Amino acid sequence: MLLETQEISKEFGKLRAVSRVSLGISKGDIHAIIGPNGAGKSTYFNLITGYHRATSGRVLFKGKEITGLPAYRRCRLGITRSFQITSIYPKLTVYESVLMALLSQRKVTLTFFSPAKKFFREEVWGILEDVGLADQASTLGDSISHGDKKRLELAVTLGTEPELLLLDEPTCGMSLEETEVIMGLIKKLSVERGLTILFTEHDMSVVFGIARRISVLHQGALIADGSPEEVRASEEVQKVYLGGST
């Protein structure tokens, strides 16, 4: 197991957003977390990345407990995330944004006198080419299209050379074409870079298209976990979720 949560819970006042979720993510997997709105997907994500602290339970990464670590330390261990609302650097160029991630990952951010632009050229261009943003390297973050912003965020997270990549609604607000491109990209990255990917998603065709394992949350609790076929066949899932809309 690359990542494991043990009986993890999060309460906001009286609201129990995540309730005793125990789940393991295996190395190299593409693992989806699904569930209706308010099921606790984002909160669960936030517990893993350190955005929120768990009320109880433990989070283990590569067998080591990380439950109380702040976000920046978890990132250094190899856990990086993207945000549901794309989080980029509006006034940095595409190149500079990816560079930032590499500077941090390779621990040179306390270098004071050599120019930042001399660092990691090959690595930055490599990532930009992988995600298809090389031709927009010198464009500002807020001047590229919505789909490209998602792609940029993905490129930035790759810059931290993560082992576990958490994507919160990676295709949120994207057109059908853009969605296909980004999902293809995620699949490719998982294979080429050996990344483990944990993602939440609304769009069921995306989830069943690329996930190798799916976990279903409902009202904060884990109600199903297994291969796409198993989850699709689960009666409980159909009751609360898949059939819930009809």
Partner 1 sequence: MEDHHIEGKDSWIKRGWWLILLIIASFLAPTVLSEFYLSVLCEALVMSLMALSFNFLFGYMGQLSFGQAAFYGLGGYTVAMLLTKAHFNFWLSIVAAVLVAALVGLVVGIFCVRLRGIYFAILTLAFGQLIFTIVFKWHNFTGGDDGIQGVFPPELLKSPIAYYYFILLVFLVSAFILWKIIHSPFGHTVVAMRENSERTEFLGIHIAKYQLIAFVIAAAFCGLAGAIWVPFYRSVAPSYLTWIKSGEPVMAAILGGPPIFLGPILGMFVMTFFHAWVLGFTVYWPVVMGALILAIIFFLPGGILGFAQEKVRQRKERNHQLQKK
Q: Which residues sit at the interface with partner 1, rule CB under 8 A?
A: 49, 70-73, 75-76, 80-81, 83, 87-92, 95-96, 99-101, 103-105, 108-117, 119, 121-122, 125, 134, 137-138, 156, 159-160
Contact status, residue 130 vs residue 189, Cβ threshold 8 Å: yes
What tokens were used for 227? 């291969």
Instruction: Name the residue nearer to partner 1 (CB basis): 144 or 222.
Output: 144
CB of 68 to partner 1, least distance (A): 15
Distance CA(33)–CA(18), nearest Å, equals 13
CB of 208 to partner 1, least distance (A): 28
Cα angle 92-143-148, degrees, rounded to a multiple of 5 = 95
CB of 125 to partner 1, least distance (A): 5
Q: Which residues contact 160 (CB under 8 A, 6 or more apart)?
A: 75, 78, 80, 101, 102, 104, 105
CB of 127 to partner 1, least distance (A): 12
Single-letter amino acid, residue 66 = I
CB of 62 to partner 1, least distance (A): 16
- C-alpha neighbours within 13 Å on the C-beta side of residue 115: 4
Paired residues of 35 in beta bridges = none
Name the DSSP class of 84. Answer: S
CB of 41 to partner 1, least distance (A): 18
Instruction: Name the residue nearer to partner 1 (CB basis): 134 or 221.
Output: 134
What tokens were used for 179? 């969605």
Chain centroid, CA 32 distance in Å: 10
Instruction: Name the residue nearer to partner 1 (CB basis): 50 or 220.
Output: 50
Instruction: Name the residue nearer to partner 1 (CB basis): 60 or 137.
Output: 137
Instruction: Name the residue nearer to partner 1 (CB basis): 71 or 242.
Output: 71
Instruction: Name the residue nearer to partner 1 (CB basis): 95 or 241.
Output: 95
